[in-house]
Structure 1
Amino acid sequence: MICFALLAHEDEYALRQQIKNIRKYNPKDAFIVFYNGGKDKDFGKKVCQEEQVRYCGYSRPLTQRTSGRFFYDVMRWLEDRHINYEYLVYLEYDIMFVNRGFREMLKERMNGYDGLLKWVKKETDPQKATWDPAKQMWGEWNDWRQVFQLDHFYRTSSPMSVYRHGIIKKMLASVNKNHLERLFQSSNIRCLGEMLYVTLARKNGGRILDYRNSDLQYLRFRPNLTLKEVKEAKDNPAVMFVHPAKDIQVRKWIWEQ
């Protein structure tokens, strides 16, 4: 069973449409946990009730500095409620599905693996770090070394990251929760989640597979996908999702298919 962890903070109409989009292209037994990262405590609650989506009770307002805890909060909430699933998928508001086949792809590619991620890279030397968040991680390394218990860390890109439930249990069991909470409050690392989860997975023996290069044309950080690109993706059965789909007309076209 697939669990989609969905982070959003505004526009309930777009949230409802995204939920319908996820359900349209994925198996009926897949379920969604919505995390409200905005300041409005009621945002999304009515939509979740009407669309039968689980609302993460550990939701809290997030900023770019604090958004790294989103996936951790969802993981804990699922465990605390003894909710069973096989795969946990990281979704944001600008990810949209365009074709079916995601579960079949996971079963095929993740055979023997604990995670499916994008561009996993190993950081071993602070002097060679080129990515600003990695430099920030090295700057706080004395604190984070206690969490990872390694002399290095890994980084990836969060959208559409997939982890098996088994490795998530090991990740959660391996951390000192009080220490991690203190770091969540004090750390100034941007894109923290793109280093935290993959490193915890590897620390706990997780076998990680990279997305194929053919997937990455429609799974990127920027620029925003154009309508032409999304139509091309839709015409390719091997492409199941696109990111970032932020343009209103692009999202409208996807919803109408």
Structure 2
Amino acid sequence: MPAENTQPKYRQIADYLRRGILDGTFPAGQPLPSEEALAKQFGVTRPTVRQGLTELRASGLVEAIMGRGTFARSPHSRPNVTRPRGIRRGKNGSFTEADGIKWTEAEEPIAVRTDAPLALADLLRVPPGEPLYTYDALQTAEPGLRQLHRTYVPFSILVSTKYEEEAPPQAPQLYAALADLGHELHFTEYLRPRMPLPDQAQALRLPDGVPILLILRVTLNEHDKPLALEEFQLPGDDLELAYSL
């Protein structure tokens, strides 16, 4: 007699659909059984079915299309959004992101003073607790893209410049301001996935179980001295990043 499956029902549903997608029972691009059918098959409520689907959506095996249902995705299929990473400088001296996305600020960012925590102080090579100018922005773009963007600039970088008396601009306008101060800029990015905090999931409109991609970008000068740090938080369920090496 086979052992009874003691896993939670939502995980049983996720495992059943995962096996079907991987073995071709549910071909890529085809609709999965409806929530109602799965609820009846497993003897559960529809919220339990949705919990199982959320687990598969986080791993990129299913895609929910408003008004049409949930569809299988091949584990080898490309995400819907590919974003090139990098910084370009135009002939007029302005800097732009390589992906060319035009972002809109949900609210006008305001520079506030914060103290550098240990992890960021290490990347910026400043003492923990050093004061930083910090900008926070929730940014949106078509079609339905959202990201959280935070900019940090150490006060010590701005000593003996006009920005001792006024706040520097946030990135990417910050790059031109630093170049105007005589710095030759280059950039290093650190990338890792992690689960979002509740307020981050709400701001990015993430379903349960979906991770974020956290990107830390350090702006450095010609002597490899860090001048600024940015933190990008992006939905990680249907996105890939492209880097030119």
> So what's the TM-score if we normalise by structure 1?
0.23
**Greater fraction helix:** 1
| Structure index of larger Rg | 2
TM-score of the two chains, using structure 2 as the length reference? 0.24
Greater strand share, structure number: 2
